[in-house]
């Protein structure tokens, strides 16, 4: 009787996918209830896309294992969100609930494509979802790009947010003027961090080395450069308003055209640091100092628009403008990288070719997040596209495209393979040890968190 009541309860809570519950539990002629094959799905990447995909799947009685290259979870929420926007990081609370669910397991410190192949994951799971994001840089493709003093925004953000691979960046902030190429949200984040008072930044989770470097920074002026006009800027307003693009344009025009009042003008005159938007400009060359060692300026081509609205295209006018600066930060976009030769990859678009998250010509393989769409949108956008991928996967289970009849060993066989290869995964409870140490170190210095900056230190804490 007890077993029968459990089966009835299961049908009641998942009406959309009641087929899945009946696949997991069967009733024999004597009324006994027994478990058959439980769907096992592997997700590669523990950023927002990975966690949102997992969140949707575990609600439908799918067991999910999340594999992450670093010992710590949360991807760009941890390493990409600006330190002065702590409210955006609150989504970590939701992700933590997902990670602690009985049908979800986290395996950090596992580099898929190196420690274990995608094909090995496919043999161990009913489906594999690639959600590892966009860790590459789009390059400007102009002379002088390799000079000292030129950085990608991805690396610069990783430096002040504690991404281990960016720990040694040590940007030179001894110049007065910095130029940021690109007019998206990341460009604004970088500008704020460069210009914000250190007293404000020291109350955030910015890394201590970055805080010390910014305390000695000589940067006093930041120009944020875009090849198109104010209507086409890629950054977004913080609050949810009707017709946000129109409202954003109105705010910029009001600021640009309105004569400031006496108090505002006095405030501007006394400002020790300034920033501005420079439209209709495209980089042509990074200019070097006389010794050809480092950045001394940037040459910008003057552009004009053909077409209108967001579809407008910037074309060159033939005019150029030189701007003296010692720091150039390229914020023209992230790009995804191929993970494994067995996975189709469009190198031109830097995405995995897919239809609604189903990777083309690769049955049982799915993708979500920036790997699926390209590096666009905010966390809410990623949530919706990840839910779409999860729905595609569940639909394929229901239609029989994914064969659930065969039992899959999942993490059992993968962890055995990793052990043979000398790889020891980090569990979510191991991550919580790291979390507690970081929070404790932060509390001691009046910060919400002081991040561990190397993989070695993370692993040491996790295994202590």
Q: Is residue 239 part of an annotated ligand binding site?
A: no
Q: Is residue 112 part of an annotated ligand binding site?
A: yes
Q: Is residue 450 part of an annotated ligand binding site?
A: no
Do the Cβ atoms of 284 and 233 come closer than 8 Å? Answer: no
Q: Is residue 227 part of an annotated ligand binding site?
A: yes
* Nearest-10 Cα torsion for 239, 240, 246, 252: 0
Q: Is residue 378 part of an annotated ligand binding site?
A: yes
Q: Is residue 11 part of an annotated ligand binding site?
A: no
Q: Is residue 306 part of an annotated ligand binding site?
A: no
The C-alpha atoms of residue 63 and residue 105 are separated, in whole angstroms, by: 8
Q: Is residue 183 part of an annotated ligand binding site?
A: yes
Q: Is residue 184 part of an annotated ligand binding site?
A: yes
Q: Is residue 385 part of an annotated ligand binding site?
A: no
Q: Is residue 401 part of an annotated ligand binding site?
A: no
Torsion 212-218-221-225 (CA) sign:
negative
Q: Which residues contact residue 269 at a Cβ distance below 8 angstroms, ignoring those fewer than 6 apart?
A: none
Which residues does the annotation place in the binding site for NADP(+)? 183-186, 227-228, 377
Which residues does the annotation place in the binding site? 49, 68, 76, 112, 183-186, 227-228, 370, 377-379
Which residues does the annotation place in the binding site for FAD? 49, 68, 76, 112, 370, 377-379
């Amino acid at each position: 009787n007890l077993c029968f009541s459990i089966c009835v309860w299961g049908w009641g809570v998942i009406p959309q996918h009641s087929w899945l519950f009946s696949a997991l539990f069967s009733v024999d002629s004597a009324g006994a209830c027994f478990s058959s094959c439980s769907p096992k799905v592997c997700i590669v990447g523990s950023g927002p896309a990975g966690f949102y995909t997992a969140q949707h799947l575990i609600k439908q009685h799918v067991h999910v294992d999340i594999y992450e290259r670093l010992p710590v979870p949360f991807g760009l929420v941890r390493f990409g969100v600006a330190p002065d926007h702590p409210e955006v990081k609150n989504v970590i609370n939701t992700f933590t609930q997902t990670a602690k669910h009985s049908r979800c397991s986290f395996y950090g410190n596992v580099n898929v494509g190196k420690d274990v192949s995608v094909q090995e994951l496919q043999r161990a799971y009913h489906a594999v979802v690639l959600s590892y994001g966009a860790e590459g840089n789009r390059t400007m493709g102009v002379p002088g790009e390799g000079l000292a003093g030129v950085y990608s925004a991805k690396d610069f953000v990783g430096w002040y947010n504690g991404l281990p691979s960016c720990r040694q960046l040590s940007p030179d902030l001894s110049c007065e003027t910095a130029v940021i190429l690109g007019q998206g949200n990341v460009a604004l984040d970088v500008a704020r961090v460069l210009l914000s008072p250190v007293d404000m930044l020291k109350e955030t989770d910015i890394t201590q080395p970055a805080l010390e470097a910014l305390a000695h920074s000589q940067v006093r002026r930041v120009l944020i450069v875009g090849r198109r006009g104010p209507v086409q800027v890629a950054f977004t307003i913080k609050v949810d308003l009707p017709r946000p693009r129109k409202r954003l344009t109105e705010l910029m025009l009001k600021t640009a055209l309105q004569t400031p009042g006496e108090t505002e003008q006095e405030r501007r005159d006394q400002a020790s640091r300034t920033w501005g938007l420079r439209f209709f400009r495209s980089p042509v060359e990074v200019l070097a100092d006389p010794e050809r060692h480092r950045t001394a300026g940037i040459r910008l081509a003057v552009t004009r628009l053909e077409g209108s609205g967001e579809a407008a295209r910037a074309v060159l006018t033939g005019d150029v403008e030189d701007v003296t600066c010692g720091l150039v930060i390229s914020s023209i976009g992230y790009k995804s990288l191929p993970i494994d030769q067995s996975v189709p990859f469009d190198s031109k678009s830097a995405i995995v070719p897919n239809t609604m998250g189903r990777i083309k010509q690769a049955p049982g393989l799915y993708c979500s997040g920036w790997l699926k769409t390209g590096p666009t949108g905010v966390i809410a956008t990623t949530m919706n596209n990840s839910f779409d991928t999860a729905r595609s996967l569940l639909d394929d289970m229901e239609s029989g495209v994914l064969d659930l009849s065969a039992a899959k060993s999942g993490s059992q066989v993968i962890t055995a393979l990793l052990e043979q290869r000398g790889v020891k995964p980090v569990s979510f409870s191991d991550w919580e040890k790291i979390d507690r140490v970081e929070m404790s170190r932060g509390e001691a210095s009046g910060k919400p968190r002081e991040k561990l900056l190397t993989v070695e230190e993370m692993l040491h804490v996790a295994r202590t």
